[in-house]
Homo-oligomer: A and B are copies of this chain.
Amino acid sequence: MSRSHSNDALLLHRRQLLGAAVGAAVGSASAAIAGVSLAAEDSAAVRRLGPGPSPLGERSPFAEQARVPAMGIVSFTPHENLEGTITPSDLHFERHHGGIPALDPQSHELLLHGMVERPLKFSLTDIKRFPSVTRSCFIECSGNYFPFAGEESPPHLICGLTSQSEWTGVALSTLLREAGVKPGASWIIAEGGDAPLLNRSIPLAKALDDVLLVYAQNGEAIRPAQGYPMRLLVPGWEGNTNVKWLRRLEITDAPVMSRQETSKYTEPMRDGTIRQFSFEVDARSIITAPSYPATIAKGWQEIRGIAWSGRGKIQGVEVSTDGGKTWQPARMQGPVLSKSHTRFTLPWFWDGEATELQSRAIDETGYVQPTLRDIMKERGPGSGPYHFNPITGWLVRRDGELRFSPTG
C-alpha cells in the first residue's frame, strides 16, 4: 500500500477503527471464504435477467423516500434519510400560502416595472437568452423548528424546512441593467403568481449583490412546488423572500409593508419592540445520523450532519459526544460553498453508556450557533417561531435508542 489516505480523522483512529470493523465483520469472515465457492452455485438465482432501460430510473422499493406533509401548508425534507449536500428536487421542502399554482410557461410573464427607465415583460424563453449563472445554495424557511413530537422528533421536524439545490438562472442585476433603475430607487417588491399573490420587499442593494431569478434546480426545470417556471433565489435570506412563481418585480423607494412582513415573519423582542426585517438566516447545524428514530450498536460509527449560514461559508463545526461538556472539531466535506449546506462528519466510538450528541456551527463572520438558553435570554419568552437556530442534541440511551433533546 504505497499511498496513505488523506483523512486525518481516519489516521488518528486507525487502530481503533480496525478493531471495530473486524468486530463487525469478522463473525462472517470465515463464512466469506465459503462464499467464494458459492458464487458459481448461487448463480442460478443471481443470473436472472432484470428489466431493461426505461425513461426514468425509479427508486429501489427498498429505499423509498418521501417528504412529510404537515398542517396543510408545509412538507419537511427527510434529512434523516439523506447523505451529501444535495436535496433531491422532489424532496425539497415546500411551504405554500395558497397551494401550488399550475403555471403555463407559454402564457406566464414576468413584469419588471416601477422606478425604471424601461418597463419590461419577460417570458421564460426571453429569460433563458440572458447570461446564466449556476450556484448551489440552501433555502431555509424562517420558521424551521417544530419539535412537536417532543423526544420522538426526527430531524425533519427539527430542521426539515431547509433544503439545498444547484440553481441556475440569471442575475437580477442583469435584468435591472436592461430596465435601467432610476435614481432614488432602493427597494424591490417581488410578487408571486400564487393565489394570495404573496409579496415581499427586498433592498435593492441585495438584489444587485447576489439575487438570481432562477428557472432550473438540480439540472432541470424547477418543480411546481418550488416556483415553476421561475422564482427568486435570495442567497442566505429567509425562504419567504425567495418568492416563487414570480410574476412581478416593482422597483420602489420603500418597502411595501405586506402581510408577510408585518403580521407574519416578524419577531417580538424582550424590550417590547418588534424585529421586522430579519432577512439573513443565522448559522445552524444538525446531526442527521445517528438521530431519532435510529437505534445504534456499540462500537465505531460516523456522526454526520449538515451546517449552514446565511452570512457566508461555514468556518467550522464542533461536535460534543458528552452533552456539551467537551467539543471536537468535525471534518467538513469540501468544497465548502457560501450560503450552502456543508456536510460534517466525526468518527465516534460508542461505549454503550447513556450520553448526548450535539453540534454547533461557526460561520465565517465568527458567529457561533447559540444555545436555546442564550436565545431566550436575548429575545424573551414571547419571541415566536422565526429565526430560531438553537444547538440541539440527540440523547443516546443505554439500549441504543435515540431521543431528541432541545438542550440548553
Residues on A facing B (Cβ under 8 Å): 1-3, 5, 7, 9-10, 14, 17-18, 20-22, 24-26, 28-29, 31-33, 35-36, 39, 43, 46-63, 65-70, 72-75, 81-92, 94, 96, 98-106, 109, 111, 113, 118-122, 126, 128-134, 166-168, 171, 173-174, 176-178, 181, 193-197, 205, 208-209, 215-216, 218-221, 223-226, 228-229, 248, 299-302, 304, 331, 333, 335, 337, 343, 345, 347
A121 CB contact (under 8 Å) in B28, B46, B55: B28
| Interface pair B60/A119, CB less than 8 Å apart | no
Q: Are the CB atoms of A39 and B219 closer together than 8 Å?
A: no
Say yes or no: B10 contacts A223, CB within 8 Å: no
* Chain B positions within 8 Å of A74 at CB level: 53
Q: How far is it, in angstroms, between the C-alpha of A31 and the C-alpha of B49 when the chains are bound? A: 60
The docked-state distance in angstroms from the alpha carbon of A331 to that of B156 is: 38
- 20 residue pairs from A and B, CB less than 8 Å apart: A1-B177, A3-B209, A14-B177, A21-B120, A33-B119, A36-B113, A39-B248, A46-B193, A48-B101, A52-B72, A53-B73, A54-B67, A55-B66, A57-B226, A60-B229, A82-B216, A86-B219, A88-B218, A88-B219, A129-B302
Whether A90 and B57, one on each chain, are in contact in the complex, defined by CB atoms closer than 8 angstroms, is yes
Q: When the two chains form the complex, which single residue of B82, B118, B228, B333 contacts A133, counting CB atoms closer than 8 Å?
A: B333
What is the total number of copies of this protein in its complex?
2
- Asked whether B1 lies within 8 Å of A176 as measured between CB atoms, the reply is yes
Contact at B195–A29, with CB atoms within 8 Å?
no
Q: Which residue of B lies closest to A226 (CB)?
A: B57
What are the 7 tightest A-B residue pairs by CB atom distance, in nearest-first order? A50-B99, A63-B221, A55-B66, A83-B216, A53-B75, A57-B225, A53-B69
How many whole Å from A297's CB to the nearest CB in chain B?
Answer: 9
Give CA–CA (A18, B343) in the complex, Å. 41
- From B48, B57, B223, give the contact of A58 (CB < 8 A): B223
List chain B residues, Cβ under 8 A from A86: 86, 166, 218-219
CB-CB nearest in chain B for A218: B86
CB neighbours of A304 from chain B (8 A): 132
Nearest Cβ distance between residue A251 and chain B, in whole angstroms? 11
Determine the residue in chain B with the shortest Cβ distance to A225.
Answer: B57
* Contacts A47-B197, A49-B99, A195-B49; A345 near B1 (Cβ below 8 A): no
A83: contacting residue among B29, B168, B205, CB under 8 A: B168
CA of A49 to CA of B197, assembled, Å: 11
Assess the B32–A132 pair: CB atoms within 8 A.
no
Contact assessment for A84 and B26 in the assembled complex, using a CB-CB cutoff below 8 Å: no
Assuming the contacts A90-B56, A92-B57, A197-B43, asked whether A120 and B26 have C-beta atoms less than 8 A apart, the reply is yes
Q: Which of A63, A94, A176, A345 has the most CB of B within 10 A?
A: A63
Q: Are A118 and B60 in contact (CB under 8 A)?
A: no
Contact flag A196-B129 (CB < 8 Å), given A3-B209, A54-B69 = no
Bound complex: CA A22 to CA B116 (Å): 13
Interface-centre pick from A126, A168, A299 (highest chain B CB count, 10 A)? A168
